[in-house]
A and B are shown apart, each in its own frame.
Chain A
Amino acid sequence: MVRRRTPPDPAVEAALARVRGRAPQMRPNVRRLAAFAGVHSCPTAAVAFAARIDTDRLLAGTTAEMPFGQSPFAIGRGIAFEALLRKHGHAELRRVLSDGLGVDFSLAAIENLREGYQPNRHGLLVRASVTRGRMAEIVSNPDEPVVLDGAVLRADVGGLPAFFEADEMAIGVNGEIIVGENKSWPVVDGRPTDEELLGAALDQAATYILLGRRTLEQSGIDPARISSKAVLVTPRNTGLAPVLHRQEVGSRIRRVDRLLRGVPNVNDIAASVPPSATFDRIADASLAEEARLDAFGEVTEELGRVYEPAACLTSCGLAWACRRCVFAFGGPALAGGHIAHALPGVVTLVRVAQLGRGAPPSPAEAPTAAPIARAGRLYDEVLPPGQPAQQRPA
């Protein structure tokens, strides 16, 4: 029996549309999910993610816009590398899979799901359906080599459907399904030029493996048919000649699973967002920058804000605007997450300085006040108050 997906609750949809206003929209993908993982404890980031707001472009045109995005040269190289793999009826892809996996792919069926499908949600739905069908076929014919180029996997992220596009799924490798990812950064002498890029690529592959296993499970097939060893296809050295690497990503799969389960549900978020909270004015390019940033300050005050420089500055498009807000009132988070965590109950850095000079603490500040006062006394012993302050060496 075919189950029908329950249509999204119109009230929830309306609430999210109101929160979004004119803010640019984004489609969840692996990159977005990884970025959200870094800031998932921030209520503003959670609401923005649930409402599908593109935080990288929300503050476009202001000085708080983060310089995120891929280099056009990296994008061009990526396109050229993928085109090379698909050229002449996927000749290079067949060769690299045959050499790397030890199974002859020269006569393999290659389903190119990137072409012939509409480049929109409908196209993704159809591709997800074809991917599911082809994966189910391995039960009847496990040793027939098949490659799905551009397989689409579907998942619920926070209660809303999202589509994830895997570069390759090689089916029929000793009865297993291998998930592959193409990356155009080079591996020189067996080492990636950037360890962070390698980690991100393996996280991506782990996400596809997890979603692929869930898809198989829903079709009543053993999810272990998808190997936990991911494949990366990268250029060898500084040219574009492709080479295949395999890496065990079991621990990353478990981490992605925890992350996906931790994404807040849109229904909960829609119910908890105050009626006045909206990103509409922040995205309004006709307003002056100050007005947009003031609106940002109001919204984040209302929703709640967790600014942790290390995570936010590398993952969130709102980080510079948040830093500006935190700077305005001298929040302890400015000094870093570990400092903020050491100062529970103290709301500003000015107050930290006062407590250090022996100011009487409030009941909320009491647990933290004693160590701060002790630190202040030690500081004064080393540097008596009469002397001009000198910058200590880093």
Chain B
Amino acid sequence: MRRSRSAKKAWRSMEKYVYHEFMQEPDSMALDLARRLADAVATGHRDEAVRLTRELEAQLTETGRNQHPAGHLPSFAAPPTVVPVTKRPRSTRSSRRAITEALAEIGVPCRARVLADYVHARSGERIDTRAFAAVRRDERQAWIKSSARPVFIVPALEGRFFQPVRGLLSLSDWPLERRLIGPWSERADHLAATVQLARQLAWLSARDTTAGERLAPVVAEMARSIPGAVDGQEVDTARVGTAAEAEHAALAQRDEPWRREAAARAREQLSPEQQLWGASIGIVAEGSR
């Protein structure tokens, strides 16, 4: 009889149970019952399956082979040993510092998920992406209180009205051009970040293989949307870099002049505070539709 895939699966499981677990030698009647039971389960005949189960139990009880041998627990026999207790290593730097360093290394505005993945790949530390909102708030408060921080984590600004883009983080010491987001900027920044991370991966792989192994899937994921950058399960950093740079060069021809023009407008229109934290638009009067 030709069996369906589920019937075969059920039968293999049942065979293992009946044959290997309880029997020293095969019991043809029990095996036949188990086979019919597996078929009944796979075809959904519940009543038949229940009846066959009872019969199988009775058969195994009769032959006295369905009892677990005493002390059937798995054995981990080994000589006694002394194991030192060490606490899980904790990071000595704060989330803020980790984010700042990650942004400085990547060099373009990034989203929380990319930063969290990068920090984990580089140092093994996990940053909860929910913590980013608190970091953003704290940064603004620190700036208002004139904190002596050398650099602040600030939002990127959309380039039309210079309002903050909350999901994209940047550093206050970057030039305004780099912190502005225009119609080509998100893709251009993604490509620039991929080039940078591919370079880092090449460098890390020669010095810290563990970190390199952690960074490789991050680079692969970022490069997946770049035509011709990755193929299969390996990351060729040179290939990723070349493909990303080629696409970046084409986009940069449009993105960079746009950013320069927007930055000039921003310097003209915005106060130093607004250049860091963004402007807000007040509606004075609603125009016609």
- Residues of A whose CB lies within 8 Å of any CB of B are 2-5, 87-92, 94-95, 106-107, 109-112, 115-118, 122, 125-126, 129-130, 146, 154-156, 161, 215, 218
- Apart from A91-B187, A110-B183, what are 10 other A-B pairs with CB-CB below 8 Å? A5-B286, A87-B225, A89-B190, A95-B225, A112-B186, A115-B166, A116-B161, A122-B283, A126-B283, A129-B287
A residues less than 8 Å from B251 (CB atoms): 107
Query: In the assembled complex, which residues on chain B have CB atoms less than 8 Å from the CB atom of A146?
Result: 183
CB distance from A104 to the nearest CB of B (A): 11
**Closest Cβ neighbor of A110 among chain B residues:** B183
Nearest A residue to B161, CB-CB: A126
Interface of chain B, main secondary structure: mixed
Interface: B130 (CB within 8 A): no
Cβ–Cβ < 8 Å partners of B83 in chain A: none
Q: Which residue of A lies closest to B186 (CB)?
A: A89
A117 to B159 CA separation, bound complex (whole angstroms): 11
**Contact indicator A4/B190 (Cβ below 8 Å):** no
Closest-CB distance, B249 to chain A (whole angstroms): 11
Asked whether B289 is an interface residue with its Cβ less than 8 Å from the other chain, the reply is yes
Inter-chain contact A91/B158, CB cutoff 8 Å:
no
A125 contacts B189, CB within 8 Å?
no
Interface check B250, CB cutoff 8 A: yes
When distances are taken between beta carbons in the complex, the residues of chain B under 8 Å from A218 are: 288-289
Whether A116 lies near B183 (C-beta < 8 A) is no
Q: Is the CB of B158 within 8 A of A116?
A: yes
- A116: which of B165, B184, B191, B287 is its contact (CB, 8 Å)? B165
Q: Is B163 an interface residue (CB 8 A)?
A: yes
Q: How far is the CA of A111 from the CA of B181 in the complex (A)?
A: 10
CB <8 Å contact, A125 and B289? no
Complex contact B281–A122 (CB within 8 A): yes
B160 interfacial contact with A, CB 8 Å: yes
Question: Which residue of chain A lies nearest to B280 when distances are taken between CB atoms in the complex?
Answer: A118
Nearest B residue to A146 via CB reads: B183
Residues of A within 8 A of B166 (CB): 115
Choose among A92, A118, A125, A215 the residue that contacts B286 (Cβ–Cβ < 8 A).
A125
Is A89 in contact with B188, judged by CB distance below 8 angstroms?
Answer: yes
Known: A107-B250, A109-B183, A109-B254. A89 touches B163 (CB 8 A): no
Residue contact A106 to B158, C-beta cutoff 8 Å: no
Cβ contact within 8 Å between A3 and B225: no
B285 within 8 A of A: yes
B247 within 8 A of A: yes
A4 proximity list for chain B (CB < 8 A): 285-288
- B37 at interface, CB cutoff 8 A: no
Contact with A along B161-178 (1 / 0, CB 8 A): 101111110000000000
CA A110 – CA B184 in complex, angstroms?
6
Within 8 A of A (CB), among B230-289: 247, 250-251, 254, 280-283, 285-289
